[in-house]
Structure 1
């Protein structure tokens, strides 16, 4: 960089072109791109799965309770203060160091309410026991809502507590009453965020005071229904937790592989690559792996569902209807029994969360029968999977597995 003033320093084109950087052979560049591309594909899959689970919770809420603002199902719609005790956080005096000289209790700020996590994230700042006596605290199960922010988009972010915490004055808390499920309250405010934002002051600093906040009206269905929703959310969140950990591990793996690859610490010769012929040169591997084409399975609602839930002998028509819907969505992807079963089970839970319905061995037989019929009619075809591509010829090398695919002709 050149220039006397830091903010006006620049890098000239000549200096830029003269920079020395590690430049591995072309084959190694391709291998690195291929390897990292594989991990990037897995990361993209995990993110897609997490988004699908968020969408599932939203769909279940709307199916059970309807739109919380329009209230087309006619639920009671009291003010928020009817849902529990509402309080605003505060900041113990900063000029008294004793308030902050220990980690007795977490002091939560709006940064700890991410908007996509059910629970507040761990705080980096804590209060001492002395500071905690001057602070506002809530126990596990309270909902913390961002009510003071620089932009209206940040108003209404909400997260639950799973531990006792203190919190600052930018946050209003609802400690739910005995007739309110914390997870229902979380889902309610998450789907009502724009509605909440409409109550904020429109000045330079967007503020939703405690007085205005507690007067917002919200739907309040029976406690039993709230609990049914909460049971489903707990199951979905357990699955999300596993996917999130997998995503974290994959991102760490990507970072480690990147560092090792560009430092020359990986044995890249062990990376098997598909090959393509480049005119006038030897055969080299394709730099970018094929994109993941696994479709998201969308199983439509149908009048066949309710009879199947009431009488298991009526399940076969429903499964056949959903299997045909899945087949039309396959594209070039292979048919997967496991993915279909998971999608069907999730759809059953979404449409009828109060019905503890599980697919069993007899249902697998129904699916197997449909598969054989689809093969006989040609709507499904058998194909040998591709294990890898020969580096010298660029030709696909067959694996040792049979895949079922939709007939594209």
Structure 2
């Protein structure tokens, strides 16, 4: 595989960038139409744009450039980029998605200058070494990695949806704590401590627990990284002490059911400790909260996590964390106290949802491992690309049928659709067009029923959703060293032909209505050339 300097295979558009201060952005932020892009992501939306083409943005400063750290993103829309991100387009025979994937995979730290705030200079950017396979192989690699990236994003979205579900259930059961619509009595948190001495405990001072006292294996030490902002405990532990040191610091021990709270970094992150009887202690920047049996730890964690800024006098900062957190604040914390039975009912719901989340989280972990393994093989030239099909685009004859009403025509509550899972025999046959026929036909029938009467029907959206589902069903095979025998299930022209035939059958049977899109011209309605399919 040949290696090229990044500067030789891309066009640099840094000279077109324009930074805007907060006042200038405010003047251009009336309608908020276009993304304003910084080093790592979209900062906000403004009313003007500089770029109107597909571009690759790479963090110039304030980024993370280590192996498998995201420093590059592609934007294919009208946008404005400030001077904290380099802007590139590709030259001939170079696939921008391939470049993006490689830059996020590679360890670029050797190209970074600066000690306090890293910087990727233009000179060093141009000198980054890029292994460049033939064009078709770039397309295949980008397509394969893109599919796994889409599955990872989908799993993260599923986890986020479950978090949002729990928040909605909590507010439905207990109400807004500021308004207290259920009329629960107002209590002090300190009334529910196991005892006042052990109720709250700050972590040991640095002089008591020094860095050189940590060991590779031993008794776990909680750190801020072990608390997720969503209110969950995060494994693994990364700091340990000896049994002897633990005995000296037993006052800082962690028991099952303790609440662990951060008082530095993102202040006020908290979770319920689940140690399964294993010993542990808290570190310097944490607080341990230990309750009696009249208040469930999960209720307090959920209340403070879900209702930030609307409970007691806790104030939040711009990072979403609390401005202050200490034992005095906790001692005087007041909240509506619901019956213990209602707290337990919510805990039962959480347990069921957490069971689903464990499955999604394991799938996410597997997919991220898969992505890392595929990336390493792809960029070392060790991946057998003969088994990776080229992505298939519909031909011109299909486009009129496929380019239908966009997904936005659906009601808000119907923006997401989940297909049923085929049985084992059907799944075994998904690698062939004929094997997919009955599955796709069943999915299309489900999709039509879901979209409802008189709803505009988008074949393009259906095909995207179907491919997502096929990818999900296929990823377990991809996790093995060689994967399933034969090509992975990728929808192609024959699938389009089968769907077209079936849809026309539905049109002839009056189940689907085929019309033209109505547009206004000179105050009168006319029909343009866009086909709209609607459930009859």
So what's the TM-score if we normalise by structure 2? 0.50
Q: What displacement does 1:261 show?
A: 1.4
Aligned runs of 1:8-407 on 2, under 5 Å? 13=123, 21-85=130-194, 86-91=199-204, 93-94=207-208, 100=214, 103-135=217-249, 136-146=252-262, 148-150=263-265, 154-163=266-275, 164-195=279-310, 198-199=313-314, 207-276=324-393, 326=414, 329=415, 336=419, 388-390=491-493, 396=496, 398=498
Unpaired runs of 5+ residues, structure 2, are 1-112, 396-406, 423-444, 467-489, 514-532
Unpaired runs of 5+ residues, structure 1, are 1-5, 279-292, 300-325, 340-368
- Provide, for residues 49-72 of structure 1, a one-character-per-residue CA deviation record: whole Å limited to 9, x for no partner: 000000010011001000123322
User: Partners of 1:11 and 1:54 in 2: how far apart?
Assistant: 40
**SS across alignment from 1:138:** coil
Cα gap change, 1:401 to 1:72, in 2 (>3 Å): farther
RMSD: 4.7
Q: What displacement does 1:33 show?
A: 1.2
**SS across alignment from 1:211:** helix
Cα gap change, 1:247 to 1:294, in 2 (>3 Å): farther
User: Partners of 1:225 and 1:40 in 2: how far apart?
Assistant: 40
Count how many residue pairs are aligned between Structure 1 and Structure 2: 322
Cα gap change, 1:222 to 1:176, in 2 (>3 Å): same
**SS across alignment from 1:264:** coil
So what's the TM-score if we normalise by structure 1? 0.64
Structure with more contact order per residue of length (Cα contacts < 8 Å, sep ≥ 6): 1
Q: What displacement does 1:231 show?
A: 0.3
Cα gap change, 1:59 to 1:199, in 2 (>3 Å): closer
Q: What displacement does 1:170 show?
A: 2.6
**SS across alignment from 2:336:** coil
**SS across alignment from 1:21:** strand
User: Partners of 2:340 and 2:177 in 1: how far apart?
Assistant: 16
User: Partners of 1:129 and 1:295 in 2: how far apart?
Assistant: 63
Cα gap change, 1:173 to 1:295, in 2 (>3 Å): farther
CA contact (8 A) 2:162 2:357 kept: yes
- Provide, for residues 295-335 of structure 1, a one-character-per-residue CA deviation record: whole Å limited to 9, x for no partner: 99976xxxxxxxxxxxxxxxxxxxxxxxxxx5xx47xx7x7
CA contact (8 A) 1:106 1:125 kept: yes
